[in-house]
Amino acid sequence: MTCQTHRLNGTGRCLNRSKPISFTFDGKRYSGFEGDTLASALLANGVRLVARSFKYHRPRGIFTCDPHEPSALVQLRSGARQEPNVPATMVELYDGLEATSQNRWPSLRYDLLSVNQLISPFFAAGFYYKTFKWPAKFWTSLYEPVIRRAAGMGRLSGSIDPDTYEKVHHHCDILVIGGGAAGLSAARAATQDGARVTLVEERARLGGFDSTGLEQDIAALKALENVRILPRTMAFGWYDNNTFGAVEQVSDHLPVPAPHQPRQRMWKIVAPQVILATGAHERSLSFGNNDRPGVMLASAAERYLRDYGVRPGSRAVIFTTNDSTAGLAEALRAAGVTVAAVADARNGDEIETVHGRTAVTGVTLRQKDGSRRTVDCDAVCVSGGWNPAVQLLAQRGQKPRWSDNLQAFLPQEMAGADFLFTGSLAGLEAREDCQTHGRMAGEAAGKRFAARDSASLADYHSYLEANEARAAKFAYFESSTGKSKKFIDLQHDVTAGDVSLATREGYRSVEHVKRYTTLGMATDQGKTSNIHGIAAMSKALDKPMSQVGTTGFRPPYRPVSLGALAGRSRGKHWRPILRTPLHGWVEDKGGVFIESGLWHRSQYFPKPGETMSQAISREVQAVRSAVGFCDVSTLGKIDLQGPDAAAFLDRVYSNGFAKLPVGKSRYGLMLREDGIVMDDGTVSRLAEDHYFITTTSAESDSVISHLEYCHQVLWPELDVVFADAGEDWAGIALAGPRARDVLVRIAPEMDVSNAALPFLAAREGTVLDGVPARLFRVSFSGELAFELYVPSAYGRPLAEALEREGAEFGITPYGVEALDVLRIEKGHVSSELNKFTTAADLGLGMMMSKKKDFIGRALSSRPGLTDPDREVVVGLKPLDPSHSFRQGAHITARGAPLAPENDDGYITSAAWSPTLESHIAIALVRRGRERVGEVVEIIDPLHGEEPVPATIVYHHFYDPENARVRS
Amino acid sequence: MCAAEARPLFCLEDLELTGIPAAGPAGVEVRIVTGTTMLRIMPFRDQAAAAGAALAPFGFTALPAPGRFAEARENRLAWAAGNCWHLISPRTAPALEQELKQSLAGLAAVSSAGSGLLRLQISGTAACALMAKGCVLDLNRFAPGHCAISLMAHTRIQLHRCADTEFGLLIPASHAASFWEWLTMSAAEFGLAVQTTAAAVLEDGDPLPAALSA
C-alpha cells in the first residue's frame, strides 16, 4: 500500500480521518479516508495518470472536482457489477473499492494505441467520413468494428446486473434544484407560506462549491417539516407539465446495496413551481497540451485543498482570466505548494504550452511583451470563467442568450409562470448575492403558491439586471500562439484546430460543427468544452458569440443508467403477466404455457414421453372422438344492458340482433368504419335488455374502447350501459360427442338435452350444486360443444369437476394448439382477421345485413374492397398429405416464375390434421373461390423449402354440413 | 355432485403470501380481503339521482361524486368509472345482488364484479412511501374518502384512500400475481406483514389477529 504523499495534515472538511479506507486502482492498493472521492484519494496518493483519452489515447489526469469530469473516467467494481465510464470525481470511496482505468492496452502507462498521437494529423475532424468511404461494405464488416475497438471507453460486464432499481413518484408545491448557497436560501424562503418544498442536490452534501459557514442554514432547512431534501439526486430532465426526472444514487456509495435497497431510484417529480439553482461550471482555457495530467481547474484545486486536504502538486502555475482565483495562490502557499507563476490573461500573460507527457513538468509562459519563459511546475490551475448551468432550462426550449458583460450564456427568460432561477446560474458570483437573490426567488415562489399572481418580481429582476450591468468580464478563451494541440473537448479529443477546420470546410451552424467534430457529444455533454467550441467558431467565422449561439440541450443532464429508467420493469416483469383463473390448475396438470399477448395460456398438456405434436394430436382426437375441455377465460366479455341495447348492437355489428330471441346466442361480426373486419365473437341475449358479448382475446380492449366511442360520440342518445366483465368470469369450452354426458353431471339443475338446449341456445343457471353459471351452446371446434362461464373464483373447481366427472367418458384437457387445429379443420377464421380482410374475403359476406345500417357498411362497398381480384379465404391440401407448409408461405400458380407479380396469396393458418391425416391450411388466395380444385404451388423461400404442390379446396375441411354441432 | 367451494385467492395461487421481516415493526401491512361481494351499478340515462336515492336500504342516499366513495353500515359505495359505481359489502352475493336488482329495477344495470378483483388493504407507517413507488397521484391531495382509477405496476387499479395511512386497492385478478410480486419487492425495504382475512371480520370492526405473518 502506498502512503498518501499529497495529503495535508489537519485540513479536509469532508474527511473522517478516524476511518481509513483501503481501495485498489488498476490492481494496486491505496489508502484514503471516509469522505474521500476516488479522485481525491488518488490525488492524495500522488496518482496523476488515471485515464487514456478517447481517440488519441493521450494520458489524462483529474481535471475537475465535478460530476462532469471529462478526463478521469474509470471502470468501477468487477464482475456483474462492473460499471464503465464513471467519473472518479463522483465516486464516494468505500472500503474495498475496486477501480480500473479503461481504453488502454496493455497498461495505463504503456498503452500501445497511444501511437495514435503520432498519426493524429490524419485523425482530424471528420476523418471517418473522408477516409472510410469505400468499398462501402467494409464499413460494417471492417472499419466500424476496428474503430470502435480502438476508440472508446469502458466495457460492460456482459452479465445481468444483480442489483435492483426502482421508481418513485413525488409531488411537491415548489421544487428547488441545487443545494448550494442560493438553493438553500431559496428553499427556506419558499416554505414560509406553507408550501411543500423539495430540494434535490446531486452531491452527497449540501452547500455547493463551498459549504463553509452554511452549516446552520443547512441544519435549519433540514429541521423544517415541509421540506424534503434529496441528496445524491440528480435532476436530469425537465418534461411537459413540470414533470422532472431525477435519479437518486441510493447505494452507489456502498460496496453492495443494503438488503432490499435498490442501487438507484428514479424519481418522477411533479411541481407546479420550480426554482433552478443549478450553479455554474468553471471553464478551462485553450492552450498547448492543456490536457496533460496535472492541468486542473482552479476551483478543483481549491476544493481538493479545502475539502479533502490534498495538494494538487508541489509547484503550481495559475492561469486565469477572472477574480474567482483570487484566493487560490494564498491557499496553495498555505498548503506548502510553491506558486511558481500566475499568468493573468487580463494582463496580457498566457500559457503557450505545457511540458511533460504523463505529467506536467513545466509550462512556457508568453508575456505581454511577447517574451517567453519556461517555468518548472507539476500543477497548472486554470480558470477561464464560469458557465451558468443552463442545460435544464434549455431543455424547456429556451435558447440561452449571450451576455457580453458576463461573458457567458444565461437563461433567456429571467422568470416564467412556473419557474424562477437564481444563484450562479443567473450570473451571480458572491455568496451574499446568491443568498440574497435566492431568498427573493424563494419568497416569490412561496407567494405564487399561496396566491397565484400575487408575487412581485420587481426586486428579483432588478437584482439580476444590476449585477449584469455591473459586470465587465474579460473576453479570453484561447492562447494566441503555440503549435501544440489545444484541446477544447477533453473527453472527445476535439481541438481548436478541429473546429477551425470544420468552418473552413463550410460548416456554419453550431449544431453542424458539433456533429462533424463530435464536440460536446461525449458523456459530459460539453460542459467544459462547448463554450470554447463556440469561441473558436466565433473567431473563425468572425461572428460575435451571440450570433454563433449554443447547441440544443436534451435530457439527460448527465448520463442515466438504463436500470434506473427500467426500474422494476425488467426480466419477467418488463410487462405484466396475465393469468387466467385456471392457471394454477394448468400448472398442477403439467400443462405447458405459451405467451399469447400478455396472457400465459395453456398450450398443450403432454403426457410422459410425448412430444408436443403427439400431445396436440391426442388432444384433437379426444375432442373428435370423446370429449375435451379448454380454458377460454381469455376471451373478452362484455355485459351490455339498457332499453336501447338491441338498437346499439344492430349498429355496431354487421348482422342483426334486434330480433335475437331471449335465450339465444348469435355469431357477430364487427367492422371498422373503413369496412375492414374488426372482430368477431358471440352475442347472447340473457333478458330483453341484457346481453353478454364475447370478443376475441386479442381485441377485447379495443372492442371495449370502440363501444365506448360509439356510445359517447356517435350515439349518446341510446340508453345503454356496458361493462368490461372479462375478469369476472372463468370460461371453459366443453367439446366433443360426449360433451353433453359430462355436462349433465356438472349441471344437474339444468336441462341440457338437445331439445331444451339446442345449438346456439343461451341459459343462465347453476352448476356444481349452486354455482351461478352462464351456458352457451356454441362451437369453435366443430363438435357438439358448450361454453360454460362461472365466477372466476370457481374456475378451478369447475375444471376439477369436469376432469372428475368426465373421466368415465375419456375427457381430456386441451390447449390452444389443439384448439387451433380443431378450428382450422372446421374452417373457422381466426388469424385471418388480420386488419386487411373484409367480411366477403372471409367468406362471411352473408353476415352483412342489407336491412339496416351499421358501422363499416358504407365503406365496405368501395371498389377496393369489392375487387374480384381480392385474396379470399380458401383451404389448401397438399397432393402428398405428408408435405407440410407454414403460416406465411406464399401461393403461386403452378409453373409460374418466382416473381412478386405472380404472388397469389399466402397461408394464414396451417396445421397437421390428425382427423384428416394430412397437413392442411387456410389461405388468402387471389380469386380463391373461383379456383377451387386448382393445383397451386406453396413456396417458402424464407425457409429455403422446396415448393409444395397443393390443391385449393373449400376451407371447411371437417363436417361442412354442420351436423355435428347440432347433434 | 357436491357443492363446490370458491377459491377466493385463485389469482395468487403458488405465490408466497408471507411477509418480509424488518428490524422493527413492519412498515407495510397488507390485508388480503376475501369474502367480499362487489356489485357493479351502472345507472341508465338520466337515472343516476334516482338510482342513488334507491340505495337507501343499503345506507346511501346518493351516488358519490366521481373520485369519491362513501361508507354506510357495513357497505362501501365507490365511484369506479364514468358511469359506474361499486357496492362493496361483506354480505353474500346472491341475496345482495337480488336485493340490489330489485331496488334499482329500471334505474340502473346491476352486475357482479367481485370475482374478478383482488381486494387489498395496505396500511402502516410506510404505506404512503410504498404507494408512491407505483402510484402517480399526489397522495397528499388524495384525501380519505377519495378514490381513483389509476395505473400501478402496469395494472389498472381502483384505489381508495381509507385513512391517512391506509389504502384500499382493487386489482384485476388476471394481473394480481404480477402485481403481488411488484408489491412484495417494493415493500421489502420497509418490512412487510401479510394477513388474509374475511371482509366480514374487518367490516364488523373485530380486532385483528395479533400476529401478522411477517
How does pLDDT run across A541-566, given as a tens digit for each residue? 999 999 999 998 999 999 999 999 99
Sign of the alpha-carbon torsion through A547, A551, A552, A553 = negative
What are A933-958's pLDDT values in tens digits? 999 999 998 888 899 999 999 999 99
Which residue of A163, A270, A579, A800 to mutate against B (max B Cβ within 10 Å)?
A: A579
Q: At A646, phi and psi to the nearest 5?
A: -65, -45
Taking residues A587-613, report their average pLDDT: 97
- In chain A, residues with a C-beta closer than 8 Å to the C-beta of B21 are none
d(CA A637, CA A788): 13
pLDDT at B202 over 80: no
B165: its cell numbers: 395511512
Contact A672, A834 (CB under 8 A): no
- How much is the pLDDT for A116? 79
Residues 6+ apart with CB under 8 A from A898: A892, A939, A941
What is the rounded distance in angstroms from the CA atom of residue B11 to the CA atom of residue A727?
A: 11
Any bridge partners for residue A140, and if so which? none
Distance separating alpha carbons of residues B122 and B29, to the nearest angstrom: 6
Burial environment of residue A296 by CB neighbours within 10 A (0 to 12, 13 to 18, 19 or more): buried
Q: Are A33 and A109 in contact (CB under 8 A)?
A: no
In sequence order, which residues have a C-beta less than 8 Å from that of residue A369 and are 6 or more positions away?
A: A348
Q: How far apart are CA B38 and CA A838, in angstroms?
A: 41
Q: What is the distance between the alpha carbons of residues B59 and B65, in angstroms, rounded to a whole number?
A: 16
H-helix or E-strand spanning residue A408: strand A408-410
pLDDT of A89 > 50? The answer is yes
- In this prediction, what percent of chain A has a pLDDT beyond 90? 89
Q: Tell if the CB–CB gap between B173 and A581 is shorter than 8 Å.
A: yes
Rounded mean pLDDT of B11-29?
A: 93
Contact, A326 vs A383, CB < 8 A? no
Residues of A with Cβ-Cβ distance to B156 under 8 angstroms? none
Res. A152: pLDDT tops 90: no
Burial grade of A351 (CB within 10 A; 0-12, 13-18, 19 or more): buried
Average predicted confidence (pLDDT) for chain A:
95
A641 in contact with chain B, both atoms CB, cutoff 8 A = yes
The pLDDT assigned to A3 comes to 81
Mean pLDDT of A419-443: 97
User: Cell 362484455 sits at which residue?
Assistant: A638
pLDDT digits (tens, 9 = 90+) for A406-418: 999 999 888 888 9
What are the phi and psi torsion angles at A222 (to 5°)?
-65, -25
Q: Using the predicted structure, report yes or no on whether residue B205 has a pLDDT greater than 70.
A: no
Best CA proximity match to A958, nearest among A903, A877, A871? A877
| Residue in A164, A577, A791 closest to B112 by CB | A791
CB hemisphere CA count around B181 (13 angstroms) = 19
What confidence score (pLDDT) does residue B213 get?
41
Q: Does A449 touch chain B (CB under 8 A)?
A: no
Residue B208 pLDDT > 60, yes or no? no
Q: Mean per-residue pLDDT for A64-77?
A: 96
Per-residue pLDDT, B199 = 60
Q: What distance in Å separates residue B72's CA from the closest CA in chain A?
A: 25
| Lookup: cell for A967 | 347433434
Q: Can you read off the three cell numbers belonging to residue A862?
A: 368501395
Q: Nearest residue on chain B to A719, judged by CA atoms?
A: B45
The reply to whether residue B185 touches residue A727, judged by beta carbons under 8 angstroms, is no
pLDDT band, very low/low/confident/very high, at A269 (cuts 50, 70, 90): very high
Work out the percent of chain B whose per-residue pLDDT is above 90.
82
Q: Does residue A308 carry a pLDDT above 90?
A: yes
| Cell of residue A681, nine digits | 365473437
Query: Which band of pLDDT confidence, cut at 50, 70 and 90, is reported for residue B185?
Result: very high
pLDDT tens, residue by residue, A820-859: 999 999 999 999 999 999 999 999 999 999 999 999 999 9
Does residue B1 register a pLDDT over 60? no
pLDDT tens for each residue of B108-119: 999 999 789 999
In this predicted structure, the answer to whether residue A867 has a pLDDT above a threshold of 50 is yes
Q: Spell out the residues 6+ positions from residue A199 whose beta carbon is closer than 8 angstroms to its own.
A: A175, A176, A177, A178, A179, A183, A184, A187, A206, A221, A227, A228, A229, A230
pLDDT for A690 equals 97
Burial track A737-749 (b if 16+ CB lie within 10 A, e otherwise): bbbbbbbebbbee
- Is the per-residue pLDDT at A119 higher than 80? no
pLDDT attached to residue A452: 72
Nearest-Å Rg of the Cα atoms of chain B is 17
DSSP string, B80-124: EETTEEEEEESS-HHHHHHHHHHHTTTTEEEEE-GGGEEEEEEES
Q: Render pLDDT for A514-526 as a digit per residue (tens, 0 to 9).
A: 999 999 999 888 8
Reading the block at residue A330, the C-alpha cell is 494564498
pLDDT digits (tens, 9 = 90+) for B46-97: 999 999 999 999 999 999 999 999 999 999 999 999 999 999 999 988 899 9
> What pLDDT is recorded for position B2?
52
Q: Give the mean pLDDT of B169-182.
A: 97
Average pLDDT over residues A657-686: 97
Phi-psi region of B29 (alpha: psi -120 to 50; beta: other; left: phi over 0): beta
A544 Ramachandran zone, left/alpha/beta (phi>0; psi -120 to 50): beta
Asked whether B101 and B154 are in contact (CB, 8 A), the reply is: no
Average pLDDT in the A265-292 region? 97
Residues of B in contact with A573 (CB under 8 A): 178, 181-182
| Least CB–CB distance from A577: residue in B139, B140, B177 | B177
Within 7-26 of B, beta carbons closer than 8 Å to A belong to 7-8, 10-11, 13-14, 20
Q: Does A305 score more than 70 pLDDT?
A: yes
- Which residue(s) pair with A246 in the sheet? A235, A267
Q: Which residues in B lie closer than 8 A to residue A641 (C-beta atoms)?
A: 42, 109, 111
A752-782 per-position pLDDT tens digit: 999 999 999 999 999 999 999 999 999 999 9
Using only C-alpha atoms, what is the Rg of chain A? 37
Q: Which residues in chain B are closer than 8 Å to A690, comparing Cβ atoms?
A: 109
Percent with pLDDT over 70 in chain A: 100
Give me the DSSP letters along B17-47.
---B--SSS-SEEEEEEES-EEEEEEEPTT-
- B-chain CB neighbours of A744 within 8 Å are none
**Nearest chain B alpha carbon to A794:** B6
pLDDT of residue A149: 75
**Tens digit of pLDDT for each residue in A201-226?**
999 999 999 999 999 999 999 999 99
Interface test with A, best of B2, B5, B9, B10 (most A CBs within 10 A): B10
A309-339 pLDDT per residue, tens: 999 999 999 999 999 999 999 999 999 999 9
**Mean pLDDT across the stretch A861-886?**
96
Q: Which of A167, A171, A690, A798 to mutate to test the interface with B (most CBs of B within 10 A)?
A: A171
Amino acid occupying residue A940: D
Q: DSSP assignment of A295-352, as one string?
A: EEEHHHHHHHHHHH-B-S-SEEEEEESSGGGTTHHHHHHHTT-EEEEEEEGGGT-EEE
Query: Of A367, A344, A352, which Cα lies nearest the Cα of A474?
Result: A344
pLDDT band at A893; cut points 50, 70, 90: very high
CB-based burial, A437-455: b 16+ in 10 Å, e otherwise: bbbbbbbbbbbbbeeeeeb
Residue entry with cell 507563476:
A341
Please state, in angstroms and rounded to a whole number, the distance separating the CA atoms of residues A936 and A923.
12
For residue A775, report the phi and psi dihedrals to the nearest 5 degrees: -125, 125
What is the residue-averaged pLDDT of chain B? 91
